[in-house]
Structure 1
Amino acid sequence: FAGYRACKKCRPMELSGTHPDWVKKLLEKIDSSTEKKIRDGELRAMGVQPEKARRYFMKNYGMTFHAYQRSRRLGNALMNIREGSKIDDVIFDNGYDSHSGFRDAFSKQFGKPPGRSAGTECIVTSLYQSRLGPMIIGAASKGVCLIEFSDRRMLEYQMKTLRKRFNASIVPGSNQHTEQAKLELDEYFTGNLKSFKTPLIYPGTDFQVKVWENLKKIPYGKTVSYIELAKKAGFKGASRAVGTANGMNRIAIILPCHRVVNKDGRLGGYGGGLWRKQWLLELERSKS
C-alpha cells in the first residue's frame, strides 16, 4: 500500500470483490508467519507461478509480492520495537538474517534506524471486503485514519495526505483499530449496528476538522443538506466549501459523509460513487 494504486478495471456492481483462493492462501501464510519469507520455489510448490503473483500484487497493491512481504515484515518490526522488544529479537523474529540488512531496510522504509524509532509513527493498511466492494482500512497507533473504497480516484492523493499529516510510512498490516473497524463494519453492513465505537484520528485544517466533527453528529437513517451542515458547523453561507471538506473526508461510513445531500433531496456527490451512496442510505432507512 505504500505505493497503492486503485485498479482501473474495477467493476463496481460486482459486490463481492474478493481475492482468488490462491491469493487468500498467500496472505494467510504471510500473516501467520511474519518471520518466514516465501520465496519463488515455495510459490511454485504451492502451485503459484512467481510471475503471476508479481502481476497480481502490482495490479492490486502497487508493489510486487516480495515487496509486499518485506513491507509487512518491517511494519511488524516497528510495532515490536514500539512495544519494547529487543532489537536482536525483532531482527530474527521478522525474517532477517543480519543486523546490517535489517538496519538498511528499516532505515529506508521509515527514515531512521531501528535504535531511534521507538516513537516513530506508522500507518498500517489492510484490505476489507465489504458488501459494496473492497475497501482500504488504515490505522495509526491512536485510531483509524482511513476507510476508503479501493476504486476511488482520490485514494492515491489521500495516501499522500496521510503520509504528510502523520509524518509516517504506510505499510501493509493490521492493529487493534483496523480489526475493530472490520468487525463493526461487518455488523453495520448487515444492519445490526448503528453507532461505531472504533477510535478515529483525522488531522486536517481547522475548517475541515470542524466539518468532520459535525458529520459524526448526523443520526443514523437521517440526512442533512450541505446548507444545514454549514450552519451546524458554524459556517453559514459556506455550503460549497463545506461540500469540499465533506468530499475530503478520509473515513467513509464511520464519518458519514454519505448522509449529506442537496437541499432538494437529490443525492449530490459521493467519492465512492452515487450507487454506493444510494445503497447506504437505503440500508439505514430500512433499519431505522
Structure 2
Amino acid sequence: MPLSRRTSLDIPAIVSPMTLFDLPDADTLYAALLARDPSYEGRAWVGVSSTGVFCRFTCPARKPKQENCLWFDNLGACLEAGFRPCKRCQPLKAATDAEPVIEELLAALNERPDHRWCEADVTAMGYDRGTVRRAFKRHFGMSFLELARLERLRRGFEVLSEGGTVLEAGLEAGFSSPSAFRARVGALLGMAPSTLSLDPLLSIDWIDTPLGPMIAVADTHRLHLLEFMDRKALPTELKKLAAGAKGRLGFGRTQVHDQTAQELTEYFDGKRARFTVPLAYHGSGFYGQVWDALCAIPAGETRSYGTLAREIGRPSATRAVAQANGANQIGILIPCHRVIGADGALTGYGGGLWRKQRLLEIEAGYARAAKAESALQP
C-alpha cells in the first residue's frame, strides 16, 4: 500500500540525558516491550509505523510486529517523526503530572481544536507566558503555540493528501483563508507563497515514511530532491531548485512521486534493497561520481570517507568526498547514510543520527537475508 502524504512541522527534539545510542539494540527493546518492562518508563518509547501512534513500553494494547517498531529516547523525537500519542497508555501523562499547566492547556487545545491560539489566550487563562513556554520546551521540545499550530497544519495536510482542495484544507486547519494556509506552508518551505508557481516545472509533494515525512521534488521524468521535512538545509535547497527552474517550482504530484513513494514503501517493508527511480543530480561531475559510488554500496554495508575516496580513484580527496556526501539532496535513494567514521562511529547525517541508525538497522536485515539465500544455493 503506498505511503500517505501526511506531513508535520519542523520540531526540534528534546535533548535528554540519555541519548538514543545509550539504548539497547532493537531485539532487546522489543523483548522489553513484549514483557511490558516498567524499567523503561520515561527512558524509551516505541513508535508503531502501522498505526502512526507512539506508546509506553507498559501499554496494555496488543503489541505490534517488530518490523513496525521504531525506538525513541524522548518525547520530542516521537513527535518529530510524526507519531501521535496513544490514547490507551497516554505517553504524555508523565509530563502532565509533572507540570499541571501542561495538562490544563492540552485539555483546552482538545476542547477548541480549531481555535487560533496566541500568547494573549495563554495570558487570559491566568498563566505566565514564560512559565508555559519553559514547561512545554522542557517536556516536548516545542512551545504550546507551536504544538497548537502543528495540530492545525496536520489536519490541513491530511485533507490535501486525501485529494481535498486548498480551501478545504485551510478551513479544516482553522485558517481564515486559503491564502493564510498557503502562507504558512510557504513559511515551512522557506519561500514566499508568491514565488510558488501555479504551473510548475518542478513539483513539490509530501511522502510520509515510518521515519517521518519527506519533501519530494520532481518533474515528469526525474526526482530532484528527497529530504526529511525537518532538515535544516531544505529551504536553501528549494530556493536553488526554484532558481534553476526559473521560478517554476510549485505544488503538484507526478508519476515520479508515485514511483518514489511505492519504492520507499517496499524498502521499509523489507522488499526492495535497490531503487530504480530516475534521479537528477545537482552538482559537479565529481559530486556525481561520489553519488554514483554511494548508490553502488550494497544495502547492509558501509564505507568510510577514505574508503569511498579510494574506490573512486581519488585517495587524497577524502575531504572533498565528505563535502559531496553532505551536499546530497536525495535522501535514502542516494544512501549517504551508509558512510560512517573510519573508527566505525556514526557520523553526521542531515536527517538526524537516530534516523541514520534506523536505516542501517533496516539494511542489516537485507544483508542477513542475502547471506541466508546465498547459503541455500548449491
* TM-score normalised according to structure 1 size: 0.68
Q: Is the 8 A contact 2:211 2:355 kept in 1?
A: yes
Matched, 1:51 2:117: no
Shift of residue 48 of structure 1? Answer: 5.6
- Whole-angstrom distance in 1 between the partners of 2:361 and 2:178: 38
CA contact (8 A) 1:17 1:129 kept: no
Does residue 201 (structure 1) correspond to residue 201 (structure 2)? The answer is: no
In 1, the alpha carbon distance for the partners of 2:253 and 2:160 equals 16
Structure 1 residue 211 displacement after superposition? 0.9
Aligned to 1:126: 205
Cα shift at 1:255: 0.4
Distance (Å, rounded) in 1 between the aligned partners of 2:207 and 2:234: 15
Number of the residue aligned with 1:38: 167
Within 1, Cα distance between the matches of 2:300 and 2:336?
13
Matched residue of 1:261: which SS? Answer: coil
Decide which of 244, 254, 259 is 1:175's aligned counterpart: 254
Residue aligning to 1:100: none
1:111 maps to none
* Consecutive unaligned residues in structure 1, runs of 5 or more: 32-36, 79-121
Q: 1:207 offset after TM fit, Å?
A: 1.6
Q: What's the offset of the Cα at 1:71? A: 5.2
1:222–1:241 CA distance, 2 compared to 1 (3 A): same
By how many angstroms is 1:186 displaced?
A: 1.0
Amino acid at match of 1:135: M
Tell me: CA distance 1:43–1:221, structure 2 relative to 1, closer, same or farther (3 Å). Answer: closer
SS of equivalent to 1:188: helix
Q: How far did residue 51 of structure 1 move?
A: 2.8
| Counterparts of 1:43 and 1:139, CA distance in 2 | 25
Match of 1:7 in 2: 10
- The CA distance in 2 between the partners of 1:286 and 1:243, in whole Å, is 26
Normalised to the residue count of structure 2, the TM-score between the two structures is 0.53
Matched length? 227
SS at 1:216 equivalent: helix
- Using the alignment, how far apart are the partners of 1:163 and 1:234 within structure 2? 34
User: Which structure has the larger Rg over C-alpha atoms?
Assistant: 2
CA contact (8 A) 1:142 1:201 kept: no
Asked whether the equivalents of residues 165 and 203 of structure 1 are also in contact (C-alpha less than 8 Å), the reply is no
Question: Aligned partners of 2:359 and 2:215: how far apart in 1?
Answer: 18
Identity %: 34
SS in structure 2 at match of 1:147: strand
Residue by residue, what CA displacement relative to the aligned partner does 1:132-176 show, whole Å, maximum 9, x if unpaired?
A: 111101112320010101101111111122234444521111101
Range with greater deviation from structure 2 (137-146 or 277-286): 137-146
> 1: CA distance between counterparts of 2:321 and 2:233?
18
1:146–1:251 CA contact under 8 A, matched in 2? yes
Partner of 1:152: 231
Structure of higher RCO (CA pairs closer than 8 Å, 6+ residues apart): 1
Distance in 2 (alpha carbons) for counterparts of 1:43 and 1:271: 30
1:187 to 246, 263, 266: 266
Question: Unpaired segments of 5 or more residues in structure 2?
Answer: 1-7, 14-75, 85-152, 368-378
Aligned residue for 1:285, secondary structure, equals helix
Deviations 1:18-77 (A, max 9, x none): 86445422453446xxxxx738xx966xx664338766654444279xx979957x23xx
State the secondary structure of the residue aligned to 2:364: helix
The amino acid across from 1:178 in the alignment is H
1:16 is aligned to: 82
* 8 A Cα contact 2:309 2:321, kept in partner: yes
